[in-house]
Amino acid sequence: MLICRECSGELTFSDSEYRCKSCGCRFSLNDLWENVDVCILNNESSTRGSRTTSSYIAEDIYNNLKSRKINSYFVRVSALNLFGEHIERSRISALNGAKIVIIVGTSADEFDDLANKYSSLLQHKTVIPVFKEMHVNSLPKNISAIQGIDYGKIGACEDLVKGILNLLGRSDEYDFLTVSNKNIKNKKIITTLFIIFTLILLCCFVLIFNPFKQHNDTASSQNENSVADNYSTAMQLFSEEKYADALTIYLSNPNYKDSQKQIDLIYQKFAGFYHNEDSSLHLQIWEGNVANLELTCFLDDKEMCIINETVHLTGKRNTCEFNDSENNKGVLTIDFANDAIVLEVITTEIVSDVAVENVKLSFILKNKSESSIQSITTEQLRNFVKNYNTIKDLTRMGIQTEYYNNHWHAPPRKTYKIKNTNIILFVKEDNEIIYYFAQLNEDGTITSEEELPEWF
């Protein structure tokens, strides 16, 4: 049911506009959706007329966003009382007003259909693809996979909601617990309080009648002093940048003072971009101990393999299973050292000629950067063209790019954008060799190479 924003009365639709049953206010479709935060795009019906899996996923996302008081549009609910062309008009209105667009699909064809149909309305929007039963590398090139969410993974919805709240500047509102979990938690709190109260009474009885009270008090005091000394040692090690050693001590007593906060801070120290000659690593840390890891291994001049997984950190050494970009499977181990991250890749099931077999990689902490690229000069860009560099060559250099849907060249010419810059690269369709570059202006136009400054 749609609610009037003036009096919270029920809205009904007739004669191409919404009317409030209580106060009589009238709203056009544009008025109703002009301030929407999130617009969810999906196909409702399959070719056989049945409801799609994407529709069920989209409804679950909508309900979770609604529970967080995020103003969202989902056609099955938001356009419930609309018919014919009014349904599409409401979706267009929501797309125009939305800050964030979520595209839901279970196949590359489904994403292609939605992205091509609404391509002009997706410009300058934050687009988040949500997929299931497919690999992230199957997403169309005109949809960035960096923010992609695999809805088949545990915690995917929580990650999506957190990311959206961050984008809306409401990260402090995030809470992993749903309303039902809160009710369960309240019951657990009551049970826990009862147990604690019983234990307190028991402890009081033991303290009063225990003949070895003095001995126990002394032992307890010594133990507390030992924990305090360890905490001080960990703080000293942290100040000396011996993060792994400090982490070991904090993990031994995570509930002492702010030890858990210090553990989260140490993990955050390792987050960032790393680049070696034959590999690169992008490590993100969420909620203190949830790591999103993207490891790119360059196998030869043409081939590379990508491992993208989420790991729950529990100590200095952490292990997870992986399924890489070529569908090879194995086990990934992450070790945090004082001065480096050490990754060990053990591939147990190889189904492709392109695969990372057993290898151990070290990424030095002092070589970490906060972004994939800090600055780039016009001369470097000219060298890319002069040396016939490809997009893969730039990835080897630690320069991340993303597909950019341009408006200046008709197909089959392609363009990419260097992340964290406003530089557009024009590449050949067959081999992605860079043959021209330009600067993207705020108004969507471009400045040619001859007019560019010497650095960006």
Query: How do residues 204-249 score in pLDDT, each as one tens digit?
Result: 776 776 555 555 555 556 667 788 889 999 999 999 999 999 999 9
Q: Is residue 265 part of a domain?
A: no
Tell me: cis bond preceding 129? Omega within 30 of 0 counts: no
User: Which of 99-108, 153-162, 191-200, 403-412 is predicted with the least confidence, judged by mean pLDDT?
Assistant: 403-412
**Owning domain of residue 420:** 378-451
What pLDDT, on a 0 to 100 scale, did the predictor assign at position 456? 39
Alpha helices in 176-280 (DSSP H): 179-209, 213-239, 243-252, 259-269
Last residue of a domain, one of 173, 202, 230: 173
Q: What's CA 179's distance to the chain center, in Å? A: 23
> What's the rounded mean pLDDT across residues 77-88?
81
> What's the rounded mean pLDDT across residues 176-188?
57
Residues β-bridged to residue 295? 281, 307
What pLDDT, on a 0 to 100 scale, did the predictor assign at position 210? 59
Between CA 193 and CA 440 the distance in angstroms is 60
Q: Is residue 259 part of a domain?
A: no
Band of residue 111 on the pLDDT scale cut at 50, 70, 90: very high
Query: Do 40 and 71 share a domain, yes or no?
Result: yes
Q: Is residue 7 part of a domain?
A: no
Between CA 377 and CA 438 the distance in angstroms is 12
> What's the rounded mean pLDDT across residues 89-106?
91
- The model's pTM is 0.43
> What's the rounded mean pLDDT across residues 320-328?
92
CB-based contact 274:371 (threshold 8 Å):
no
- Say yes or no to pLDDT of 82 above 80: no
Last residue of a domain, one of 223, 253, 283: 253
Residues β-bridged to residue 292? 284, 310
Band of residue 7 on the pLDDT scale cut at 50, 70, 90: confident
Band of residue 453 on the pLDDT scale cut at 50, 70, 90: very low
Q: What is the CATH number of the domain that holds 327?
A: 2.40.128
75 by DSSP, 3-state: which?
helix
Number of domains comprising the chain? 4
Q: DSSP string spanning 26-61?
A: EE-HHHHHTT-SEEEE---B-TTSSBPHHHHHHHHH
CB-based contact 375:315 (threshold 8 Å):
no
Q: What is the CATH number of the domain that holds 140?
A: 3.40.50.10140
Between CA 241 and CA 368 the distance in angstroms is 14
Q: Nearest 10 degrees: CA dihedral of 424, 428, 432, 436?
A: -30
Query: Do 246 and 285 share a domain, yes or no?
Result: no
Query: Do 85 and 120 share a domain, yes or no?
Result: yes
User: Which of 129-133, 148-152, 295-299, 368-372 is predicted with the least confidence, judged by mean pLDDT?
Assistant: 368-372
CB-based contact 126:150 (threshold 8 Å):
no
What pLDDT, on a 0 to 100 scale, did the predictor assign at position 123? 85
Q: Tell the residue number behind the tokens 């919404």, with chain if given.
A: 18
What pLDDT, on a 0 to 100 scale, did the predictor assign at position 455? 41
